[in-house]
Structure 1
Amino acid sequence: MVDVAVRVSDDVLKKYEGVSNATVLGALAKRGYLKVFMNGVHSLAPGRRLVGRAVTLRYLPSRPDLQEHVTRGGHGEGFNETPRWDALEALTPGDCLVADCMGESMTSTGGDVVFSRILSQKAAGLVTDGGVRDGHKVAEYGYPVYGGGSTPTIGEPNVLPYEVNEPVQCGGVLVWPGDVILGDEDGVVVLPAQLADEIYDECVHHDQIEAAILWHTQREGISPKFFYPFNEETEKIYAAWSRAHGK
């Protein structure tokens, strides 16, 4: 288990609730972070914004010897403790479970009973590039759920949970424990924890400029093309928008 070098505060997480994923993606691209958008991972509970610190869980292809390695406690005793439970128990408010299922989108990483623990831990949500069993029931818990899809299958014949809070991939993107996970209707973006403070003001300014462009072009009936890339005219309408909105 790696140490989380930077723990993003709850206050910073709260601020990102109002920043668009597209804007974060652009700010990261300027700094050379080009592979931060998860492929094939979509909202299974539409309309819920996700902002949380990553607690990571890695799955591996199933084999009998791996099953023996990762399982502690006997099924006959009604107790089957694996790294998946370790990950769920590690969650705290503001954390998000990120499960690397190797892109096996129709293989379950858990269902409504298992993922009820996310709710009781008051965690921020769930992200996986695998499937979610009983996805419609998990969505009813009220927290954001992002996955490869909903599935009726069980995971154990195909995958097994292996390790917790190590660097993983999810949706083809590196996720380091503690990274900020941002989910909206477009999908999931991974914000490296050490950049969360650095890019926030830039992101807010960018979103405000685009709000100003939209405000001006709709009022005046002109094309947005005159304001991209951002130029002197863009700054003028941003100043006017700021005055009008008390910014």
Structure 2
Amino acid sequence: MIESSRDEACVVSEAVAALRRSSVATVSATLLRRGLRNQCLIGIRPVADRTDVMVGPAFTLRFIPAREDIDTMAWLARPDNVQRRAIEECPVGAVLVIDARSCIRAASAGDLMARRLRFRGCAGMVTDGGFRDTAGIVEAGLPAYQRENAPCASPAGLHPVDIGQPIGCAGVAIYPGDFVMGDGEGVIVIPAGIIEDVARDTASASDYEAFAAEEIDNGTALFDIFPATDRSIEAFRRWSQAEN
């Protein structure tokens, strides 16, 4: 049983490594071929331009609207504050994904929280709302994705209610453990149960795209190369053998 768990962890690690060599756009096409059309977090962009790829299992935090008699700076300082718990409990390698109800009246998190996540070895954070102190987040080096900046502190508009539960973020259903991937273009969610298959298919699709780019540069018409045809697949097979 222990050996099986280790093997599974190794497979997941290899899948994550493969996805880091790909892109959100390529993964979205892979998921579309599997009938999954609503996995991209629409309108969510990196806080700063990124050339690397963020990938990790989702650890979720959910907010509801704030209420004046509850949400104060004193509430934020309490040891049982759910937002601060999320920062301290997000697992190593995971992405903190925040359901802020698309609220930008208040921040989902700020630079000190980003620094703490980075120190603890978390992979990144994503919100369908906004972050504050974004210059500090960039300096901290943690991959962070948002709708737009939200300079007001979270108690001004948001109340944290739970962690580790299914959420909706930017219109996408996200279950704890689903894999979250982000690059310079945006963020996509991969259901946990198909991470290995998606990584394999995406790697193959990336190789085909490299082949297709060469063919187009050599004058091949788009109709003959994209989407793939029987003839182009055979040419790709020969190209792959020559490359290897």
User: TM-score category by the smaller chain?
Assistant: 0.7 to 0.9
Moved more, 140-149 or 10-19: 10-19
SS of 1:131's equivalent? coil
Question: What residue number does 1:160 align with?
Answer: 159
String of CA shifts for 1:107-130, please: whole Å, max 9, x gaps.
211211222211121100010011
Match for 1:114: what amino acid? Answer: M
Shift >6 Å, 4+ stretches: none
- Which of 10, 13, 18 is residue 15 of structure 1 equivalent to? 18
Question: What residue number does 2:134 align with?
Answer: 135
Contact between 1:43 and 1:145, CA under 8 Å: does it hold in 2? Answer: yes
Contact between 1:10 and 1:94, CA under 8 Å: does it hold in 2? Answer: no
The offset of 1:216, in angstroms, is 2.0
Please state if 1:204 is matched with 2:207.
no
Structure 1 residue runs of 5 or longer lacking an equivalent are 1-5
**Alignment partners' CA distance in 2, 1:104 and 1:143:** 22
Change beyond 3 A, Cα 1:11–1:228: closer
- Which of 46, 51, 60 is residue 49 of structure 2 equivalent to? 46
Please state if 1:176 is matched with 2:195.
no
The offset of 1:241, in angstroms, is 2.2
**Alignment partners' CA distance in 1, 2:134 and 2:221:** 43
Contact between 2:125 and 2:143, CA under 8 Å: does it hold in 1? Answer: yes
What TM-score does the superposition give when structure 2 sets the normalisation length?
A: 0.87
Question: What residue number does 1:60 align with?
Answer: 64
Moved more, 123-132 or 193-202: 193-202
Whose helix fraction is larger, Structure 1's or Structure 2's?
A: 2
Contact between 2:39 and 2:172, CA under 8 Å: does it hold in 1? Answer: yes
Please state if 1:244 is matched with 2:239.
no
Change beyond 3 A, Cα 1:26–1:66: farther
The offset of 1:104, in angstroms, is 1.3
Change beyond 3 A, Cα 1:143–1:113: closer
Report matched runs for 1:88-107 at 5 Å.
Answer: 88-107=87-106
Contact between 2:16 and 2:199, CA under 8 Å: does it hold in 1? Answer: no
Contact between 2:129 and 2:150, CA under 8 Å: does it hold in 1? Answer: no
Identity of aligned residues (%): 27
**Alignment partners' CA distance in 1, 2:231 and 2:34:** 26
Q: How many residues align?
A: 235
**Alignment partners' CA distance in 1, 2:168 and 2:80:** 23
String of CA shifts for 1:50-107, please: whole Å, max 9, x gaps.
1011000000001146549xx9xx669x645311122111122210100110011352
Change beyond 3 A, Cα 1:212–1:33: same
**Alignment partners' CA distance in 1, 2:237 and 2:109:** 50
Backbone CA RMSD of aligned residues: 2.3
String of CA shifts for 1:176-223, please: whole Å, max 9, x gaps.
0011001012210000101101222222111111111111221x2232
Contact between 2:105 and 2:156, CA under 8 Å: does it hold in 1? Answer: no
SS of 2:156's equivalent? coil
